[in-house]
A and B are shown apart, each in its own frame.
Chain A
Amino acid sequence: MNKQLWALAHKEFLTEWRSRYSQMGVVLYLAASVFILYLGLQQADARLWVALYWVVLFFTSVTAIAKSFLQESRMRLLYYQSVASPLAVFLAKALFHFVQLLALAALCWLLFSLFFDNPIMHPALFVLIVVSGSLTFVLAFTLMSAIAAKAAQALLMAVLCLPVVLPSLMLLLRLSHQAAMEGPLDFPWTDLAMLWALDVILLLLALILFPYLWRD
Chain B
Amino acid sequence: MQQAGGFFSDARSFLIRYGWKLAGALLVAYSLAMGLVMQVPQLPVLGESIRNLFYHVPLWFSMTFLLLASAINSLRYLATNRPQLDVLAAAQVRVALWFGFAGLFTGMVWARTTWGTWWVNDPKLLGAAAGILFYVAYVVLRNSMDDLQRRARVSAVANILFFCMFIPTIFIIPRLTDSLHPGSGGNPAFNVYDLDNRMRWVFYPAVLGWILLGIWMASLSARLQLLQAVAAGLWDQDVLTTAVRHEQ
Contacts and interface: CB of A to CB of B under 8 A. Distances in A.
Interface of A: 143, 147, 150-153, 156, 159-160, 162-167, 170-171, 174, 191, 194, 198, 201, 205, 209, 212-213, 216
Interface in B51-102: 78
A163 B78 contact: no
Nearest to A201: B164
B115 interface: no
Interface string B146-167: 0000100110111011101110
Given A150-B150, A159-B140, A191 B169 contact: no
A152 B145 CA distance: 8
Contacts of B133: 162-163
A194 B168 CA distance: 10
Contacts of B158: 147, 160
Interface in B117-157: 123, 130, 133-134, 137, 140-141, 144-145, 150, 153-154, 156-157
A120 B58 CA distance: 44
Contact of A160 (B141, B153, B166, B176): B141
B172 interface: yes
Contacts of B160: 205, 209
B156 A212 contact: yes
A201 B172 CA distance: 14
B86 to A, nearest CB: 12
B173 interface: yes
Interface residues of B, number: 28
Counting chain A CB atoms within 10 Å of each CB, which of B150, B162, B165 scores highest? Answer: B165
A198 B172 CA distance: 11
Contact of A167 (B140, B144, B145, B173): B173
Contacts of B162: 163-164
B137 A150 contact: no
Nearest to B171: A167
A174 B176 contact: yes
Contacts of A150: 145, 150, 154
A164 B173 contact: no
14 contacts: A143-B161, A150-B154, A153-B141, A159-B137, A160-B137, A163-B137, A164-B161, A164-B162, A167-B168, A170-B173, A174-B177, A205-B164, A209-B157, A213-B153
Nearest to A163: B134
B130 A166 contact: yes
Contacts of B130: 163, 166
